[in-house]
């Protein structure tokens, strides 16, 4: 903090106001990955995308290679192992151990659904990845959040800056379907009334998020 103190948080919602923050630190780990040599390039690419720093490469024999990386813990705790198995056709294995806390250019990424912040969906991410993470999450939520009778904006934001946005369109009911002939005035009145009703609904409405919405935040693409 700016006053020299340190605050430990367990969730993004506990992050203090950025104006009082001097630096944000995150835990780093040493990761050792054993793989056949033909998958070394794919392993290196995956770890680099996850902000990993290569520290050592050992050729144990003519077929096996031990790669050592230092990486943010946040980069490997969700689906890194599944991705590692994917890029190595299931042959790579890994283990890791805690190293220390390190300062990084980290920001809080808020997710807003229908203009309401959802604390449970907030993340702390590296600034360089905020756009990609926000875009990925908003796109996934668009396919998960149920449609309503009003438009639902889904946004990813850093402070007051929107970095990604998707929109779920409203159900549209043809309120003029039962009208016959060309009574334009009557049709316009009904459409105006429908528009006003949707506006009121949006003001008081709350979107209930399914469990899949929270899982989408975990299974995300950082690139």
pLDDT per residue over 183-195, tens digit each? 667 656 655 655 5
With 0-12 / 13-18 / 19 or more C-beta atoms within 10 angstroms meaning exposed / middle / buried, residue 3 is exposed
Between 171 and 147, the higher pLDDT residue:
147
- pTM of this structure: 0.77
Mean pLDDT, all residues of the chain: 86
Domains of the chain from N-terminus onward: 12-104 (3.30.70.240), 107-173+206-218 (3.30.70.2570)
pLDDT one-digit tens code per residue, 97-156 = 999 999 999 999 999 999 999 998 999 999 999 999 999 999 999 999 988 888 899 999
Strands 93-104 and 53-59: unpaired
Average pLDDT over residues 73-102: 95
- C-beta of residue 164 within 8 angstroms of C-beta of residue 155: yes
Strands 64-72 and 93-104: unpaired
Is residue 78 helix, strand or coil?
A: coil
């Amino acid at each position: 903090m700016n006053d020299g103190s340190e605050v430990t948080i367990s969730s993004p919602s506990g992050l203090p106001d950025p104006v009082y923050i001097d630096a944000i630190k995150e835990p780093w780990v040493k990761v050792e990955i054993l793989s056949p040599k033909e998958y070394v390039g794919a392993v290196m690419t995956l770890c680099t995308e996850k902000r990993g720093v290569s520290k050592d490469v050992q050729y144990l024999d003519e077929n096996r290679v031990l790669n050592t990386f230092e990486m943010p813990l946040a980069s490997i705790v969700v689906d890194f192992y599944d991705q590692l198995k994917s890029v190595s056709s299931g042959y790579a294995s890994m283990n890791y151990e805690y190293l220390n806390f390190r300062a990084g250019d980290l920001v809080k990424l808020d997710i807003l659904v229908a203009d309401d912040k959802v604390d449970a969906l907030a993340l702390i991410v590296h600034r360089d990845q905020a756009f990609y993470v926000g875009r990925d999450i908003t796109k996934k939520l668009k396919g998960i959040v149920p449609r309503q009778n009003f438009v639902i904006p889904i946004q990813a934001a850093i402070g007051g800056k929107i970095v990604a946005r998707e929109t779920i369109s409203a159900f549209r009911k043809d309120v003029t379907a039962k009208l016959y002939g060309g009574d334009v005035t009557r049709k316009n009145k009904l459409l105006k009334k429908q528009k006003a009703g949707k506006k009121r609904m949006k003001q008081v409405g709350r979107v209930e998020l399914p469990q899949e919405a929270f899982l989408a935040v975990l299974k995300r693409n950082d690139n």
